[in-house]
Amino acid sequence: MADSTAVSEKPGAETRCGPRQFDLDRCVHCGLCLNACPTYRELGLEMDSPRGRIYQMVQVAGGAPITPAYMEHIGLCLACRGCESACPSGVRYGRMVEDARAEIEAYRTQQAPRGRAARWLRGFVFHRLLESRGLLTCAGCLLYLYQASGAKAVVRGMGLLKLLGRLGDLGQFAPSAEPPFFFSQIGRTFAAEGERKYRVAFLAGCIANVCFARLNEATVRVLQKNGCEVVVPEGQGCCGALHVHSGMPEEARRLARRNIDAVPSESFDAIITNAAGCGSTLKEYGDLLEHDPPYAAKAREFAGKMRDVTEFLAGLELNPRMGAVNATVTYQDACHLAHGQRIRTAPRKLLAAIPGLKVREMSGSDLCCGSAGIYNVVENEMSMQILARKMEAVKSTGAGIIAAVNPGCMLQLETGVRLHGGSQRVMHVVELLDWAYKQANGKP
């Protein structure tokens, strides 16, 4: 096998794939990360622990072949980066697993291509669907017909999804379409309520425009309430997070350039996202485009302005004109906020600011819920095992609301509530703030 892991920091090195040697060298094999790893906690197998996976990456970097077992162990990783938070040596595991997946993807393309149907589906989703407003709108309309006709409830109620195998797994997590879709708001500017203190750009995501349109609207309202003029720039699109996590860095770079061109970062105090998974990748545009001379500096500037919405709001003097939300909530950390962006306090600070809201911490709130992008579809069994534990932790708090900060986690937790017979409501932290502001205005 060609030594594709050779390290080069020279311009143009972005074509190389595989974990970088200086990343691999950081691991001292101490094992302090093991207990933070959801797959190790489930399986107790060294090869499915961070240390074990790094060991395997080192073997491949040294010339060992990429085997089906290697692909399986790397594939079973959630890329949740819990190990990064636990590691005292500063191992950049997230970047390593992304590089390992890019190398596997290159190997697959050349030597072990997927079946025709799988290739078509992957190509359609990653190269067409996620970046096309037209296709996402069509998919959203079909999804809406499926749910509004009652077919969704019948299919779920009769357990028909189980008969469809992998396609059924996909259906299990299918989000609800929320017309009118947020695409209609792209290109608009929303005035600040009261004095304008900040001018921010809002990135609305890709699928979120269709399936989390109300969350996006709530995000804009809460920002307006806090003195922000909110611009939703035309020309924005998918951030490329799913592409990066699935071993497609070139695609991700193309999408990153598009977003950088669409959002002149110098015109804004901050660029805001309400999706922790997207935010983590958007903050890493500097790394992603470090070897692209025309974009490297712009990418760093863009990444420097990126803020998770909870991070941004918690850094302000929050508008206190909120009504009471008399409920009990437990907060699930999003891996890409807690571990990827090292933000844990901001969402909790916002929840604590809502009058009447009681917050009960669950144990292991920063352990992955098993969502992890498309992991819950491609590694459904492990994802469901992890989710079952998460729902036990949720249940033990007695909370009626699960607060989250990432649409992917919200879908997974909603599935958890449904499968485990709960009655909790899953809400974004920003939706709870929006609720409190509406309460102050006497709107339920």
Contacting positions for ligand SF4 (CB under 6 A): 27-33, 36-39, 50-51, 53-54, 77-83, 86-87, 89, 91, 93
Give the whole-angstrom CA distance, residue 436 versus residue 430: 10
**Amino acid present at 117:** A
Would you say 79 or 399 has its CB closer to ligand SF4? 79
Encoded tokens for 109:
């393309």
Would you say 28 or 316 has its CB closer to ligand SF4? 28
Residue 89: CB minimum distance to ligand SF4, A? 4
Residue 356 backbone zone (phi > 0: left; psi -120 to 50: alpha; other: beta) = left
Residue 85: CB minimum distance to ligand SF4, A? 9
Would you say 81 or 253 has its CB closer to ligand SF4? 81
Query: If you write DSSP's letter for every residue of 181-234 in order, what string do you get?
Result: PGGGGTT-EEPPSSS--EEEEE---STHHHHSHHHHHHHHHHHHHTTEEEE--T
Inter-helix orientation angle 345-352/429-440, to 10°: 20
Would you say 93 or 181 has its CB closer to ligand SF4? 93
Tell me 129's DSSP state: G
* 251 contacts 127 by C-beta, under 8 angstroms: yes
Would you say 39 or 259 has its CB closer to ligand SF4? 39
Chain-centre distance for alpha carbon 279: 8
The alpha-carbon radius of gyration of the chain (Å, integer) is 21
Would you say 54 or 218 has its CB closer to ligand SF4? 54
Would you say 91 or 275 has its CB closer to ligand SF4? 91
Q: Is the dihedral of CA 405, 410, 413, 414 positive or negative?
A: positive
- What burial class does residue 443 get, using C-beta atoms within 10 Å of its C-beta: 0-12 exposed, 13-18 middle, 19+ buried? exposed
* 337 contacts 280 by C-beta, under 8 angstroms: yes
Residue 41: CB minimum distance to ligand SF4, A? 9
